[in-house]
Amino acid sequence: MEKNIEKVPRDRLLFKEFITSLIALSVVSWAALIFSAPLSAPGGELTPAGVIVKAPWIFVGLQVLLQYIHPFWGGVVLPVMALGLLALLPLEVRWRIPPRFSTVVFMLLLLSATALTLYGLFT
């Protein structure tokens, strides 16, 4: 029971992906130029004792994991498992897993990363 799915030529698909990546790169570049990164002084002798130095926003979720979980689990195992799961999602077609599964897994990973980042930023 194969459905009639229209296949897009490879060169047309590649061109669409190229244009999309150029748009994404330009948006991120403009955002980097407009918004400055809230970096504080480096840790060590310059930072007074008791002051919590926060990482840039992209690493805040990892920093929160390292505060509450053993560094091996929060800094190595969980991120590698999440990236491995993301890498396996395109194989759903070969394994005959419903497409909704990959959408749910991706959304759960995205929401958990967003929640950890927001928690770390506002605490």
C-alpha separations of 123 from 46, 114, 115, 118, 119 in Å: 23, 14, 12, 8, 6
Q: Please state, in angstroms and rounded to a whole number, the distance separating the CA atoms of residues 25 and 23.
A: 5
pTM: 0.59
Q: pLDDT per residue over 53-95, tens digit each?
A: 677 778 888 888 988 999 999 999 999 999 999 998 888 778 8
